[in-house]
Each structure stands twice: as C-alpha cells, then as structure tokens.
Amino acid sequence: MKVHHLRNATLVIETGANFILVDPMLGKKGTAGPTFTLFRFKPQRNPIVDLPSNAMDIVEKTTHCLLTHLHPDHLDKEAENFLRTKQIPVICSIKDEATLKKKGLNVSQTVDYWKESPFLGGKIQGIPAVHGYGFVAKPMGNVMGFHIELPNEKSIYLSADTIYTDDVHKVLTQLKPEISVV
C-alpha cells in the first residue's frame, strides 16, 4: 500500500490495481470559498496551496472515491466534475447518498457507522466522527471516518475531521489499525 497525500484531506490510497481517491479537493489554489476562519487568522480562500505538480497523474488513475463528508474542502466543484465525467464509483456515508446522487455522482456503495461492509475484496467500516465541541458540532453536519482492511495490506484508519472521541479511542485501541491518517 502506498498513501499519496496531495493536500488538506485529499489523498490517494494505492493498493494493487486500485487507486482510492479520498476527499478530493482538485481546484486551483484560492478558487473555492468560503473561508473557514472568523477571527484568529487572515481569511484565505481554499485551497490554500497548489496541488503538487504530479498530483493529477496519480488522480487520473482513480478507480474508486471515498468521501468522509461533503464540505467543499473535501469535495469541491472540480472534484465533482472529475468524478461525474469519469463515473468513478463513490463510497460514502449512508447519510450522504441522496445528496451525491442529486449531483450526478456514481454512488456505488454506502457505509453505516460501526457496520462492516465488503470493500475491494476486504472490508470497510464507518467510524463516527465529530467536527468539534458544543455549538460547532451540529451545524458542521455529519462526518464519517473509515477503517479499512484489504487483502495483503496493512489496515488503515482514516479519521476524517474529528476531535478525539470515545469512538476514535475505540478504533485505535480495539481495531488497532496499522496505519492511521488523522
């Protein structure tokens, strides 16, 4: 397994013949909005950095896409167009299926919290995630991390956008992923 980190939450997991694009933000630097700061820092439009020069060479090999949630820093318009045009199979939370289908994306599989589902000859499990504490959590919407076990590969945990919760602790101490992307 190779993990290619491209920027922000965007990465590609290369495993055998499969290239799993995770949370794609593919637009040019500064082309998405809104900004995600209120007071502490000077606002910058996302993405705040360019994609690496070889990023699209890797992205073009995408066989599947995994989405943790639907914020524009995890799925931007450029990524939507890429996924729709190529009809890439999308794997997402059961809570995001309807929205993604309305966008014309090829949702091939949904995942529910703590339920194992078959995935590329192995299994995938949705892990509850929480964006923040108190008033921040609810308006930020649902988010799902993933624990993935594939044949002849190390297990991997993608935490998504989350604070450290009992669910995160459970993954780390009971499922004991060999790779954690947090």
Give me the helices (H) in the chain, please: 55-59, 77-86, 97-102, 166-170
pLDDT of 155 strictly over 80: yes
The region, left, alpha or beta by phi > 0 then psi within -120 to 50, assigned to residue 121 is left
Structure confidence by residue, pLDDT tens digits, 10-31: 999 999 999 999 999 998 876 7
List C-alpha distances in Å: 132 to 21, 45, 137, 141, 143.
25, 21, 5, 11, 11
Interval 125-129 mean pLDDT: 96
Q: What is the mean pLDDT of the chain?
A: 90
pLDDT of 144 strictly over 80: yes
pLDDT of 139 strictly over 80: no
Q: Rounded CA gap, 126 and 146, in Å?
A: 5
Which amino acid makes up residue 87? Q
The pTM is what?
0.90
Structure confidence by residue, pLDDT tens digits, 31-82: 776 555 556 667 766 767 778 899 999 999 999 999 998 877 788 999 999 9
The predicted structure's pLDDT at residue 142: 82
pLDDT of 172 strictly over 90: yes
pLDDT of 121 strictly over 80: yes
Kind and range of the H or E run holding 171: none
Which amino acid makes up residue 138? K
Look up the CATH number of domain 2-181.
3.60.15.10
Strand segments, DSSP code E, in the chain are 2-7, 10-15, 18-22, 64-66, 89-93, 106-111, 116-119, 122-128, 144-149, 156-158, 179-181
